[in-house]
Chain A
């Protein structure tokens, strides 16, 4: 990790040191946004930092997506795995592993409020009166606005995961790799790789998320994430094009004219995903 840096947005500029305790600033900032590198660890470090600095950030966002507000200072918080792990342990101690799972999933959202919702949740979790309701999962408290928001975020990611399990389509490249391109609205590739790796363990494959520029790569043994824009993809095989045309024919044949119901199709298969599906590319 590099040296922490501040971004000019409002009045104050402060740098935090990733390798030691942050210097306690004399007065906590009233209007401050925390920026992180976009990873879950970065987000957890922002939560850690808010406890160190006794501040309540108005925004916690990825630095690339930050939109400055009037009169607001911005702090870039460097990612420190030690600190992220401490926050994780804290969440698991207070809310159980299920609570951390919910935080992890919710953090995959693209929504700019994600950071603040998670921050509020963690704070609520830590502040709960000890003893009371401790044995019951905090996530059952669905009518609570703080918990409810987090659970809704988690649900959105779960839905998007399901969409990817349904609508990722592989094609066979000439170098033997199976390649899929998808455009989810949350960063769910890391969350669904497990599913694809177990199901397609006999074929090396790449799932490329063109919205988040992340690719999940499985080489036949193990999988990893690559955060980059892919430049060169070899052509696909001729046989692959034929199988795809078979699939298109099958799809077109299957519909019953007398039951035509386009609204229902759009409901189950959102139009935003159609461009990467061979069967709906030409609809």
Chain B
């Protein structure tokens, strides 16, 4: 089989792996060696579905001894099988890298013979890349569940990021769809990777420390390669099994806390196999995946708790507004906030203001009083933020009554009347009715402006104290992260 055919088969088999990030690792270039790694990562191309191509994402082989229901490579499927030799993987990576096609390699594999045998072959390919070619670019490897700790350790020292797939959001689903994989086989390597990363970081901090009179510099006997400096990630399939968003987000929060993951990837279930255990829905839940990612971002960059975004009574995220807007609509008593005085964590809770925008506001307001014109220049989404802000005492969202229903109508309205984004292709979830009250904002007459201005003026200025206390360790769901995980494994 020639290289072209192998590449077609093994890239096709790997395309359902979601992660393709090259961030989190910074490795300076060295004279005489190819490559470096940038901490922000770099995307080199984008496929027709809009996903980025950052790494050469391939399977080492699509031969697999497992028979997981959702997987295109399961042993009972009749597909062409192929395998790269370690040298082929290394050479292909180098050739692509030299042309600036890719940022590095993402190596995953079906399980050939046994997990240990598979990992051995992967380690060989990566060793050739790192030691024979002196490659300093980014490498992401998937660890196969059930691999022995020694091999995981070798793998981690060759990679920037290691990940183990959680596959499904609950233990029961895993037992149902992937009976040959066990929860312990997945969590075991994840715990080991977490501990090795922590140990490695600690050693490095000790070695780096400047010696003082009282504190001697530690010298290590043997300098080791860093263990997965870009951390570990995982991924799970959404929509193949009946788990709710509530369960998924609580599991994510638990994973971030207890396993110190960098990222959790969600992959909307895509029917690739015929199997009685799988739902036969034709639609891919792209919108749900999108909302889950939004909630994930809110937890990681906006200091939201999972319990703030979702509760057991409403176990699915709203489909028409994003989770942040939804939170704001449910907490209208905390708004509007004064943009010139609100602290960072309060600004981060305003729909339309993101981390970059919030920091810009804080920079800019040191020298200037921010009013509408200034805010618009700063590049925040003023169109959304205005309903939740006062600028120097003046309420920004005049024209719309400050009620949940009216604001919901404004925030859920499609951007540019539906001409923007992919959702332009999709029909509205339900037909609009003549008799149903769907506030769109235009219904409110300009005469109401005065009332709203008064509303803005009469609101107290010092809202921040009403906002929830800063992020604490115990989640508001009341359960400890380790309990969440215990339920999974």
Contact = CB atoms under 8 A, between A and B. Distances in A.
A268 B367 contact: no
B360 interface: yes
A251 B45 contact: yes
B57 A200 contact: no
B313 interface: no
A142 interface: yes
A140 B8 CA distance: 50
Interface stretch (B48-56, B195-203, B315-323, B439-447): B48-56
Contacts of A133: 367
Contacts of A263: 50, 421-422, 424
B53 A251 contact: yes
B449 interface: no
A200 B34 contact: yes
Contacts of B378: 142-143
Contacts of B47: 251, 254-256, 265
Given A142-B378, A148-B377, A169-B101, A261 B364 contact: no
Contacts of A142: 360, 363-364, 377-378
Contacts of B377: 142-143, 145, 148
A261 B374 CA distance: 35
B422 A268 contact: no
Contacts, number: 153
A198 B42 contact: no
Nearest to B99: A170
Interface string A113-143: 0000000000000000000010010001111
A258 B272 CA distance: 11
A199 interface: yes
Interface string A154-176: 00000000000111111110000
A268 B421 CA distance: 13
Contacts of B284: 258-259
A246 B53 contact: no
Interface in B329-383: 360, 363-368, 370, 374, 377-378
Contacts of B46: 264-265, 268-269
B175 interface: no
Q: Which of A141, A255, A262 has the most CB of B within 10 A?
A: A255
B92 A256 contact: no
Contacts of A202: 32-34
Nearest to B14: A254
B98 interface: yes
B45 A269 contact: yes
A178 to B, nearest CB: 7
B39 to A, nearest CB: 13
B451 interface: no
B54 to A, nearest CB: 9
Contact of A255 (B48, B422, B424): B48
A51 interface: no
Given A250-B56, A265-B47, A169 B32 contact: no
B216 interface: no
A172 B366 CA distance: 52
A269 B47 CA distance: 9
A34 to B, nearest CB: 27
Contacts of B256: none
Contact of A267 (B12, B50, B424): B50
Contacts of A279: 45
B268 to A, nearest CB: 8
B422 A144 contact: no
B261 interface: no
B11 interface: yes
Contact of A140 (B33, B52, B95, B364): B364
B422 A264 contact: yes
A169 B101 CA distance: 7
A167 B52 contact: no
Contacts of B7: 246, 249-250, 253
A180 B96 CA distance: 14
A279 B57 CA distance: 16
Contacts of A258: 270, 284
A277 interface: yes
Given A142-B363, A142-B364, A201 B31 contact: yes
B11 A203 contact: no
A180 B364 contact: no
Contacts of A199: 29, 34-36
Nearest to B282: A258
B290 to A, nearest CB: 11
B96 A247 contact: yes
Contacts of A203: 34, 98
B43 interface: yes
Contact of B4 (A140, A170, A249, A260): A249
A245 interface: yes
Contacts of A255: 15, 47-49, 51
B3 interface: yes
A243 interface: yes
Given A203-B98, A255-B47, A265-B50, A140 B363 contact: yes
B300 interface: no
B448 interface: no
A260 B95 CA distance: 29
Contacts of A259: 49-51, 270, 284, 286
Contacts of A172: 98-99
A32 B36 CA distance: 49
Contact of A245 (B4, B34, B367, B368): B4
B45 A168 contact: no
Interface in B1-27: 3-4, 7-8, 11-12, 15-16
B100 interface: yes
B48 A262 contact: yes
Nearest to A168: B100
B368 A144 contact: yes
B215 to A, nearest CB: 33
Contact of A261 (B8, B45, B50, B363): B50
B87 interface: no
A136 B363 CA distance: 10
Contacts of A143: 364-365, 367-368, 370, 374, 377-378
8 contacts: A167-B45, A200-B100, A201-B32, A250-B11, A250-B56, A253-B15, A261-B48, A264-B50
Given A144-B367, A256-B51, 12 more contacts: A141-B364, A202-B34, A247-B99, A247-B101, A250-B11, A251-B47, A253-B12, A254-B51, A254-B57, A261-B48, A263-B424, A269-B45
